[in-house]
Structure 1
Amino acid sequence: MRNTERYPVKGSNALWQIYKTVPFWKVVKNFAVIQLARYTPFIPMKNWLYKTFLGMKIGSETAFALMVMVDIMFPERIKVGKNSIIGYNTTILAHEYLIDEYRLGDVVIGNKVMIGANSTLLPGITIGDGAIVSAGTLVHKSVPEGAFVGGNPMKIIYSKEEREAQELS
């Protein structure tokens, strides 16, 4: 199970009640910053925007490709280590609004992690140092250090030990 905090709601679905959970002007500001960052090809500028205006924690030499969509409501719950790559059009969510509840969870991406294009990371997961996430993967649970994962739903393709053995042969 993912590490999320659960908040029940009464009445209409949780998304309909969004501005009871996050301030409207925070969403407007975050939307503008995220859209600017999605389209800029300048990696240092993206990282500066994310850190300065969204409160994300990003390690040195980490690169967000074009069109990455970070969580618009709670981007401050995203942490990315050093020298990682977040692939084109990846979505990183720190929230999920359901019918009877909403959930929040930190997303922690380690050092030297490679996230393939068009992947989706759900709230409450950790991706260990040196892991590789194949393109198009739905990351619905945490990824062990050094593992190679892929698919929808995500499965471990190679463990760290299996990857190291392959590299030696």
Structure 2
Amino acid sequence: MRRTERYHVNGENSLWQLYKTVSFWKVAKNVIIIELSRITPFFRLKNWLFRTFLRMEIGEHTAVAYKVVMDILFPERIKIGSNTVIGFNSTVLAHEYLIDEYRIGDVIIGDGVMIGANSTILPGVMIGDGAVVSASTLVHRDVPAGAFVGGNPMQIIYTKEQMEQRKKGR
């Protein structure tokens, strides 16, 4: 189950009411920083931009690949551990705007996590330490530590224990 805060709206759909939720200037600043981070090839610079301007928590030696999109509205709700890799063109969301409501939730990605290219992380999920998310996965619920997951919708392919057995068999 994802941990999100739900806010009901009246009238127009919730996205149409965006600037009642988030300051226009915050969104404008975040768009500029996120677009800069998407194209810079320097991990230290990218992590500095995230920490300094978006108030994200990013661990040491974390590598966010080219074209990754962090949440534009609530990036401060994203926490990424140390020595983690987020693959090319992935998206990490801390919000979802629906017709009658919007939801906001923290995204917590542990240490030593590998997220494959073109994956989408939805708000309110936790990805445990040492987990592997295969390419093009929709992460719509928590990922246990050490597990290997994949698909749309996401399924557990191997548990931590099965992954350890596979490593012993090499």
- Shorter-chain TM range is over 0.9
Aligned residue number for residue 96 of structure 2: 96
**Aligned-partner residue type, residue 49 of structure 2:** L
Distance 2:35 2:90 in 1: 14
Cα distance, 1:26 vs structure 2: 0.2
TM-score by length of 2: 0.99
**Cα distance per residue 1:44-64 (max 9 Å; x no partner):** 000000000000000000000
Unaligned runs of 5+ in 1: none
Q: Counterparts of 1:12-161 in structure 2 under 5 Å? A: 12-161=12-161
Letter in 2 for 1:99: I
What's the counterpart of residue 9 of structure 1?
Answer: 9
* In 2: Cα distance, 1:31 partner to 1:156 partner: 33
Alpha-carbon offset, residue 74 of structure 1: 0.2
Give structure 2 stretches of 5+ with no counterpart. Answer: none
Shift of 1:22: 0.4
Pairwise CA distance, 1:82: 0.5
Q: How far 1:112 moved relative to its partner?
A: 0.1
How far the C-alpha of 1:19 sits from its partner, in A, is: 0.3
CA distance in 2, matches of 1:167, 1:115: 19
In 2, the alpha carbon distance for the partners of 1:63 and 1:167 equals 24
Under a length normalisation based on structure 1, what TM-score does the superposition of the two structures give? Answer: 1.00
Instruction: Tell me how far apart the structure 2 counterparts of residues 166 and 48 of structure 1 sit (CA, whole Å).
Output: 37
> Quick one: percent identity of the two aligned structures?
66
- After TM superposition, what 4+ stretches of structure 1 lie above 3 angstroms from structure 2? none
